[in-house]
Amino acid sequence: MSTPKIIAVAGKGGVGKTSCSAVMVKLLCEAYPDKKILAIDADPAVGLSTALGVEVESTIDDIRREVVSTVENGDTKTAIELLGEAKYRIMDALVEQDGYSFIAVGRPEAAGCYCKINSYLKEVIGLLSSNFDYVVIDGEAGIEQINRRVMEKVTHLLLITDASKKGCQVIQTIKSVSDNLMMCDKVGVIANRLPDEGMADMLDTGDLPLLSAIISDNKLAEYDIKGENVFYLPDDAPIVVGCKKALKAVGVL
């Protein structure tokens, strides 16, 4: 299998990262029905599962906490055995959907330092990704996750902003941090939830290319409120058109 294309979606909270991530999964499934696609929910809010209509029973963090708990109890032999089983446990945590697989990283790190365990699980995510052709990661808000767990293996970083100055500042900060920590093939911006397309020309994205501009969509807002699966959004929905344009611009579609 060739090297997977790993697409991370990041940005300020409330700009629609999860909706964009879910729509990208939809577009990849439609474009590549013969490819293996993985959706990773790396946001502690676990919103991607709702947007995709997935029931989550076990997360990567559940596995991590079981290992940590065993170490805290002094049962190191069992902890080592658990680490050895981590890959298989994570495979069991995969939820198979029509056209793609799904896994949730789960809640944020617990107090205390278990760097070796977390590093190991990060490697397991890398191993897991190697079994897929395309991986979409819905990251948590802000910059904290760029240098943790799954983010270092990203090939495409798509930064989402809204029309706010703060949103534009956050994506530029993420780009600055990622320059030192990641080796992305392509980085670009999706301007989301704009009052009108003309506003895209007013956004300050620094040296980041603007891949697409998506106007606010009442239909999507209705889906968000009802927690409905974005796979049922029409092809002409602004977010579907905009995400498709962005994925084409970075060579994923």
pLDDT tens string 4-44: 999 999 999 889 999 999 999 999 999 999 999 999 988 77
Rounded to whole angstroms, the Cα distance separating 182 from 153 reads 7
Domain ranges of the chain: 5-249
What pLDDT was estimated at residue 29?
98
pLDDT in tens, 82-101: 666 667 778 888 999 999 99
Mean pLDDT of 222-234: 87
Q: By C-alpha distance, which of 165, 129, 164, 159 is closest to 141?
A: 159
pLDDT of residue 149: 46
Please write the tens of the pLDDT for every residue from 136-178: 999 876 665 555 544 677 899 999 999 999 999 999 998 888 8
Average pLDDT value for residue range 111-131: 63
In order of 98, 126, 157, 176, 217, the CA distances from 250 in angstroms are 25, 22, 10, 19, 24
For the ranges 108-117, 129-138, 172-181, 230-239, the lowest mean pLDDT is seen at 108-117
Residue 113 pLDDT class (50, 70, 90 cuts): very low
Q: How confident is the model at residue 129 (pLDDT cuts 50, 70, 90)?
A: confident
Q: Please tell me the predicted confidence (pLDDT) of residue 123.
A: 67
Per-residue pLDDT band at 236 (split at 50, 70, 90):
very high
pLDDT, position 52: 95
How many C-beta atoms lie closer than 10 Å to residue 2's C-beta? 5
CB-based contact 36:133 (threshold 8 Å): yes
Rounded Cα gap, residues 72 and 108, in angstroms: 18
Q: What is the CA radius of gyration of the chain?
A: 18
d(CA 161, CA 221): 17
**Residue 114: which pLDDT band, with cuts at 50, 70 and 90?**
very low
Are 136 and 24 within 8 A, CB to CB? yes
Candidate from 24-33, 97-106, 121-130 with smallest mean pLDDT: 121-130
> In this predicted structure, what is the pLDDT of residue 144?
58
Alpha-carbon distance of 67 to 105, in angstroms, equals 15
What is the CATH T-level fold of the domain 5-249, as seen in this structure?
Rossmann fold (3.40.50)
Average pLDDT taken over every residue of the chain: 84
Q: In the prediction, which pLDDT does 161 show?
A: 96
